[in-house]
Structure 1
Amino acid sequence: MFSLNRVHIIGYQTEPVSPRQTPSGTSVVDLNLVVPYSFKAESGDMLDGKGFHTVTLWGPMADVAGRFVKPGSHVFVAGRLQTDSWEDEKTGEKRSKTKMVALDMILLDPKDGQLAAPANAKSITNNLNRADIIGHVTRDPELRTTTGGVQVLTLGVATNEKWKDKSTNELKERSEFHNVVIWGALAQEVTSNIKKGNRVFVSGRVQTRSWETKDGHKRYTTEVIADSVLLLGVKNSVAETSFRADARPARSDAKSDDSAPASASVEVPEIAYASEIKAEDLPF
């Protein structure tokens, strides 16, 4: 694996699920998940917001979602970001939409219904919106400053994915181009030290925002708002003190007894693999 493109979401389904079938009979479902979150505004105040995420499920996973996911269902999904592009039939304009393609799904609600949210426990009742990317920077970062005096930059990062087509056994490859938004002191450090072609790790949250074209048409852009950016493949002086070029044998204080018979056996204590947890103790 030369790159990484992974997203983890815990959120709530907003609408009834509508399963559909491809011409070949494969089930497909699109989830629309809302993820409430808190963020720091330019003023420094903490504000509440919510993000919406389109998640596409295929095959047996789509069948399960069609049966059990309802409006309000609490769901975990893990997958990858994928941008689909097409040409508008009316205007001829190039259009694109970024969604999440699920690789795994876990239904989170207890069988007897959701729990009441505890008071004054916001930290443990948060949801999850996390993207982790390893890829190459596609252009030199350009730092800019908002009207409020905060520094920000958008970094382009490319990831690649390879897979084998099940119908043709042909090896295929797909590239994804991610817009990464970096704020504040981290933006300044990235501008000073990272350039086009560098390999980086980015961790943050996925955000889709809307904007209008000159013609008044609404468009959407999906970005990763970075919490962490790491430059990869660099030397580290602290780690270098632990490097060892030669393979030294493990030292032992006990002297080997060459006179011991080859057939001598060592008694191994019996291990009980039975679980101490009983089925009736499980909460589900």
Structure 2
Amino acid sequence: MAATNINRVVLTGNLTADPELRSLPSGTSVCKLRVACNTRRKNNATGDWEDKPNYFDVTVWGAQGENAARYLSKGRPVAVDGRLEWREFQDQAGNKRQAIDIIADSVQFLGGREDGAGGGGGGFTPRSDVPVDTGDFAPAGASTGGGNAPAPAPADDDIPF
């Protein structure tokens, strides 16, 4: 039995430049993005954590590429889901070159319009998934009222599973 090949990339980062949109002679739109993602590493000499940027070229085809060019700009945070594609070409001097691009299946715009270079946010601001009201997470032995009696155990009909 042959092994199944998987070619999948998921990344989040910020655009390093404005999107570049062009149309092929066939009329198909293609948008080029450059996404920066940080990798956090510990500096053994200082003991401090440092961010090392990684830069990725992303190609977005069709209407999704048009939307990316219309609504995204330098500094905006994005999430990209796609696949890797290796290509070989000759540069202007005639040297053989290689590149790996990410072909996006989907691009999700993160943050609001005010995020990124145009607004005061300066980029993606992480938001917590923890709810503001933590009262739902009180320890099991905590009382809910003014008395010292523990809360009654739920009946079997009240358990949601």
TM score, norm. by length of structure 2: 0.66
Q: Structure 1, residues 49-100: CA drift from partner, whole Å, max 9, x if none?
A: xxxxxxxxxxxxxxxxxxxxxxxxxxxxxxxxxxxxxxxxxxxxxxxxxxxx
User: Paired residue for 1:233?
Assistant: 111
Identity across the alignment (%):
33
User: Paired residue for 2:140?
Assistant: none
Q: Structure 1, residues 161-216: CA drift from partner, whole Å, max 9, x if none?
A: 22113465354331111100000111011111111111111111111211002232
Among 133, 137, 142, which residue is 2:20 paired with? 142
**Counterparts of 1:149 and 1:228, CA distance in 2:** 20
User: Paired residue for 2:40?
Assistant: 162
Is structure 2 residue 57 aligned with structure 1 residue 179?
A: yes
**Counterparts of 2:7 and 2:99, CA distance in 1:** 17
How large is the Cα RMSD of the aligned pairs? 3.1
**Counterparts of 2:48 and 2:80, CA distance in 1:** 31
Unmatched tracts of structure 1, length 5 or more = 1-115, 118-124, 236-244, 267-284
Unmatched tracts of structure 2, length 5 or more = 114-130, 137-143, 154-161
User: Paired residue for 2:82?
Assistant: 204
Structure 2 CA distance for partners of 1:259 and 1:182, relative to 1, 3 Å = closer
Is the partner of 1:140 in helix, strand or coil? coil
Among 65, 68, 72, which residue is 1:194 paired with? 72
**Counterparts of 2:33 and 2:148, CA distance in 1:** 67
User: Paired residue for 1:279?
Assistant: none
**Counterparts of 1:160 and 1:183, CA distance in 2:** 25
Is the partner of 2:20 in helix, strand or coil? coil
Aligned residues: 127
TM score, norm. by length of structure 1: 0.39
**Counterparts of 1:246 and 1:165, CA distance in 2:** 35
User: Paired residue for 1:132?
Assistant: 10
Which has the higher Rg, Structure 1 or Structure 2?
1
Query: Which residue identity lines up with residue 135 of structure 1 in the other structure?
Result: G
Is the partner of 2:67 in helix, strand or coil? helix
Query: Which residue identity lines up with residue 228 of structure 1 in the other structure?
Result: S
**Counterparts of 1:138 and 1:167, CA distance in 2:** 30
Structure 2 CA distance for partners of 1:213 and 1:228, relative to 1, 3 Å = same
Q: Which stretches of structure 1, 4 residues or longer, exceed 2 Å deviation after superposition? A: 165-173, 245-250
Q: Greater RCO between the two (CA within 8 Å, min separation 6)?
A: 2
CA-CA distance at 1:148 after TM superposition = 2.2
Higher-strand-fraction structure: 1
